[in-house]
Amino acid sequence: MSSVPFTPDLSIKPEVTAFFDAPTNTISYVVKDPSSDACAVIDSVMDIDYAAGRITYDGADRIIAYIREHNLKLEWLIETHVHADHLSGAPYIQGKLGGKLGIGENITIVQDTFGKIFNEGTEFQRDGSQFDRLFKDGDSYSIGNLTAYAMHTPGHTPACMTHVMGDAAFVGDTLFMPDGGSARADFPGGDARTLYRSIQRVLSLPGEMRLFMCHDYGPNGREIQWETTVADEREHNIHVGKDATEDAFVAMREARDATLAMPRLIIPSLQVNMRAGRLPPKDDDGNVFLKVPVNGL
């Protein structure tokens, strides 16, 4: 794995509409093919009040309403990775609007790891079959007339992919805004050195390419932002910009990760997202439960 395994076409400029989920600082996107009514949804959110065990769909409903209002045809629901900080709204949106659900092929590694941690039985398949498409590095797919490419960018998790569509790239948690640096690399299957190399891959995309983040936390009190460029990240990213070396990055990342608490929603998120955003199966009485592994994480 080294350079970018496809040639981006920067003359194609998809229309990107962002939806910010304040409780989890997640940004979801509707990406529209500029030459047709086809679109994709990237990293949607299902709402949870974890203390109450209550699931709702206000955020996903906003995305559905937008797609309907603009008479778009939803062709893809993309997960950049198995999120540990929010639950995916993809199956709910797919149920209303159709489209295919895709994630990186290393979802199987994530399913194996967390299938064990949550002591799931044979009901839980670890072959990625909950998704419609498992992307390999360099794979392409169509959104109307727009060709999208998947690029494997592991490190935050083993299944992380960056999706490139025309002059826009959706980096998931591979990068944050320049003043936010990078995401943690200490979840099971994460690795700081791998993350550094994946980031270098993203930074080797053309400088003028637009980059869209999955998260922003408004560091130092600034307003929430989610869009930058490759050139801006190369120059200004506080963790990997300018002359940051791999060893310095790894030392910084590992020291910092050791201080971070687990994300508030990691336990429900992983149980649901490893199932492509579906809740665990109902019990004999028709009730749904989420588990809490004691000292398991």
Cα(29)–Cα(115) distance, integer angstroms: 29
Tell me the window of 20-28, 170-178, 195-203, 241-249 that interacts with Fe ion (CB under 5 A).
170-178
Terminus-to-terminus CA distance in the chain, angstroms?
A: 30
Q: How far is the CB of 70 from Fe ion (least distance, A)?
A: 28
- Is residue 79 a contact point for Fe ion (CB under 5 A)? no
Interaction of residue 139 with Fe ion, rule CB under 5 A: no
Q: Say whether residue 33 binds Fe ion (CB under 5 A).
A: no
Q: From the CB of 148, what's the least distance to Fe ion, in Å?
A: 20
Q: CB under 5 A: which stretch of 49-57, 81-89, 238-246, 263-271 binds Fe ion?
A: 81-89
Q: Is 21 in the site for Fe ion (CB under 5 A)?
A: no
CB of 84 to Fe ion, least distance (A): 6
* Cα gap 39→31, rounded to integer Å: 5
Select the residue interacting with Fe ion from 21, 173, 191, 216 (CB under 5 A): 173
Instruction: Compute how many other C-beta atoms are within 10 angstroms of the C-beta atom of residue 127.
Output: 11
Go through 45-76 and write b for each residue having 16 or more CB atoms within 10 A of its CB, e for each that does not.
bbbbeeeeeebebebbebbbeebeeeebbbbb
Give the H or E element holding residue 194.
helix 192-203
Residue 47 is a binding residue for Fe ion (CB under 5 A): no
Tokens (6 digits) for 272 = 């649901």
CB 179 within 8 A of CB 222: yes
Q: Per rule CB under 5 A, is residue 105 in the interface with Fe ion? A: no
The whole-angstrom separation of Cα 284 and Cα 127 is 25
32 vs 215, which CB is nearer to Fe ion?
215
* 40 or 185: CB nearest Fe ion: 185
> Does 191 interact with Fe ion (rule: CB under 5 A)?
no
Q: Please say which residue, 32 or 239, places its beta carbon nearer to Fe ion.
A: 239
**Interface residues with Fe ion (CB under 5 A)?**
83, 173
